Amino acid sequence: MKKRDIIAVFLILLLFLSGCQEKVEEDVRGYEGRTFYEIFVRAFKDSDGDGIGDIKGVTESLDYLEELGVGGLWLMPINSSPSYHGYDVTDYYSINSEYGNLEDFKELLQEADKRDIMIIMDLVINHTSSEHPWFKEASTSPDSEYRDYYIFTEDESKKYEASPMGGGSPWAKSTLREEYYYALFWSGMPDLNLDNEELRKEFKEIAKYYLELGVDGFRLDAAKWIYNDIEDNLRWWKEFNSYVKEINPEAVLVGEVWDNIRGMEPYAEVLDSFFVFSMGEDIINGLKWSNLSVLGEKLADSHKKLKEKNPDFVPAPFLSNHDQNRIMNQLVNIDKYKAAAVIYLTLPGTPYIYYGEEIGMSGKKPDERIREPFLWSTDFKKNTQWIDITNDSSIALENQMEQEDSLFNLYKTIINLRKNNPELSLGEIEALDHDHKSVYAVERAYKGSKAYIFVSLSDDESELNIEKGSYNVLYSNVNDYESLKTEGKLNLKSGEILIIKKAD
Ligand code: CA
């Protein structure tokens, strides 16, 4: 073999090995640090022209989601259900026929996997539909084996009991017999009795079924309401989580524990992740009142408190979901909207985007209005038709893709920065000390490398102290520059959003 050939072989081998190295790192990319995207399937993308969003529609949208930088999807309920939203399940093993079938779902799982997009699905364990065969049988025959799956009483005084959620009695009158059943959210959704061992087994089997199909985990609806007693709740989730990890150690359980940070904290020891409602509220309130000086500290504290509870726990910051008025209606102002996006998408943990948020869709309650068809196109026939659209057609994705300074392009830029800079996704967070009321400033440090995020709502330039040296500019909304050098002071322009990374 000639010397030249030996060198060529050596180089090819080196290339091959570095390729393997990259592959390994890619394979171990876990849940933490990704950006997730919440999808209401009915409203997202229609693949067969019947006007209803479906699973094939989600599969067809994967290229879009990949371009956006998304690393995971949360699918709102896809099981059979008589309601439009699906949170009242009638069969945990079947796919809502309006959304497609099991083959469609398998195809979605495979296609998402090819793009390294994780998929978690909503799992509703607190209650079923009153149309579920278990409940139908339990409410007609007291001797049924399913009777104990629910909570019945003949005690009429229960109708005066206050709900633990606040408001009227959680007991609903049976239409079949002289009795009441417990239904915390709505009479159409009777609560399940998880004290029943058979029922516990049922849900473990259901989880196993979907995990073996390739689902990466579950979003746990109403996770704090399985029992009214927190200790019982924690015991159940611990048991369920251990079971899930036996099936797939990498699977994630993401809880809906809608509470203040104190109320959420204990769940960090039994769940892998949950939505940190208070972080979104802190960001929105800070921006509403242009009071950002303590926001960095608040967010860093929340994150650290949860990590102290359990170092493996992954907080999931978000701005709003399918139960809350959309961010556009809460913040109104587009500059504040952009600031909110940058702040939460550069937090540690795993942020969740609510579909349509990246194009600035608006909507306030009733619920249907915050779940409008995703606006792919100004031509409404190209969007789902499940409900009429009240959003302004000019914000359609196809328009925003063409506009360099659009909200969509900001989301895409920031999410991809997050994806490509571990400082922004996995780094430690510290608030920077300063006395500018309308400035947000945090440091993110990962394996000795540091990045900084600044957001100014001030009308003036703000001077901030920062480590002397050279920085690469990852993003600025006011200046077009690739790097900057400081002698220890940084001048943040009025209204500037700036993300920089230490170069040396
Ligand atoms: Ca359809």
pLDDT of residue 9: 59
Main-chain phi, psi angles of 223, to 5 degrees: -60, -25
pLDDT of residue 480: 83
pLDDT of residue 76: 98
Please report, for residues 56, 257, 323, 375, 377, the alpha-carbon distance to residue 363 in angstroms, rounded to integers and kept in the order given: 26, 23, 11, 13, 18
For ligand 1, the distance from its centroid to the CA atom of residue 59, given in whole angstroms, is 12
For ligand 1, the distance from its centroid to the CA atom of residue 396, given in whole angstroms, is 20
Say which residue the tokens 């930088």 belong to. 69
Query: Which residues does residue 483 pair with via DSSP β-bridges, in sequence order?
Result: 472
Q: What is the 3-state secondary structure (H, E, C) of 17-72?
A: HHHHHHHHHHHCCCCCCCCEEEECHHHHCCCCCCCCCCHHHHHHCHHHHHHHCCCE
Interatomic CA distance for residues 289 and 320, integer angstroms? 18
Q: Of the residues 38, 54, 256, 443, which is catalytic?
A: 256
Interatomic CA distance for residues 462 and 369, integer angstroms? 40
What is residue 76's DSSP assignment?
P
For ligand 1, the distance from its centroid to the CA atom of residue 275, given in whole angstroms, is 30
Active site residue 221: yes
For ligand 1, the distance from its centroid to the CA atom of residue 302, given in whole angstroms, is 41
For ligand 1, the distance from its centroid to the CA atom of residue 100, given in whole angstroms, is 8
For ligand 1, the distance from its centroid to the CA atom of residue 39, given in whole angstroms, is 15
pLDDT of residue 23: 41
pLDDT of residue 3: 59
Q: Please enumerate in sequence order all residues whose Cβ is within 8 A of that of 122, keeping only pairs 6 or more positions apart, or say none.
A: 74, 75, 76, 77, 78, 86, 87, 218, 219, 221
For ligand 1, the distance from its centroid to the CA atom of residue 440, given in whole angstroms, is 43
pLDDT of residue 26: 45
Say which residue the tokens 């940058």 belong to. 342
pLDDT of residue 28: 53
From first CA to last CA, the distance across the chain in angstroms is 43
Interatomic CA distance for residues 147 and 149, integer angstroms? 5
Q: Of the residues 88, 104, 221, 496, which is catalytic?
A: 221
Nearest to 106 by CA among 52, 59, 170, 168: 59
pLDDT of residue 410: 98
Q: Express the helix, strand and coil content of the chain in percent, nearest 5 each.
A: 40, 20, 40
Surface-to-core class of residue 318, CB atoms within 10 Å of its CB (0-12 exposed, 13-18 middle, 19+ buried): buried
Say which residue the tokens 């937090």 belong to. 347
Q: How far is CA 56 from the centre of its chain?
A: 21
pLDDT of residue 166: 87
pLDDT of residue 479: 84
For ligand 1, the distance from its centroid to the CA atom of residue 98, given in whole angstroms, is 7
Prior bond of 366 cis (ω within 30°): yes
Surface-to-core class of residue 298, CB atoms within 10 Å of its CB (0-12 exposed, 13-18 middle, 19+ buried): middle
AA identity, residue 382: K
Give the 3-state secondary structure of residue 224.
helix
Give yes or no for a contact between 294 and 327, defined as CB atoms under 8 angstroms apart.
no
For ligand 1, the distance from its centroid to the CA atom of residue 97, given in whole angstroms, is 10
Residue 308's H or E segment, with its range, is: helix 295-309
Give the 3-state secondary structure of residue 477.
coil
Per-residue confidence of the chain (504 residues) as pLDDT tens digits?
555 665 555 555 555 555 444 443 444 579 999 999 999 999 999 999 999 999 999 999 999 999 999 999 999 999 999 999 999 999 999 999 999 999 999 999 999 999 999 999 999 999 999 999 999 999 999 999 999 999 999 999 998 999 998 888 999 999 999 999 999 999 999 999 999 999 999 999 999 999 999 999 999 999 999 999 999 999 999 999 999 999 999 999 999 999 999 999 999 999 999 999 999 999 999 999 999 999 999 999 999 999 999 999 999 999 999 999 999 999 999 999 999 999 999 999 999 999 999 999 999 999 999 999 999 999 999 999 999 999 999 999 999 999 999 999 999 999 999 999 999 999 999 999 999 999 999 999 999 999 999 999 999 999 999 999 999 999 999 988 899 999 999 999 999 999 999 997
pLDDT of residue 16: 55
For ligand 1, the distance from its centroid to the CA atom of residue 68, given in whole angstroms, is 23
Please report, for residues 75, 291, 332, the alpha-carbon distance to residue 437 in angstroms, rounded to integers and kept in the order given: 39, 6, 21
For ligand 1, the distance from its centroid to the CA atom of residue 46, given in whole angstroms, is 4
Q: Where are the alpha helices (DSSP H) in 193-294?
A: 197-213, 230-247, 261-264, 277-288
pTM to 2 decimals? 0.93
For ligand 1, the distance from its centroid to the CA atom of residue 237, given in whole angstroms, is 35
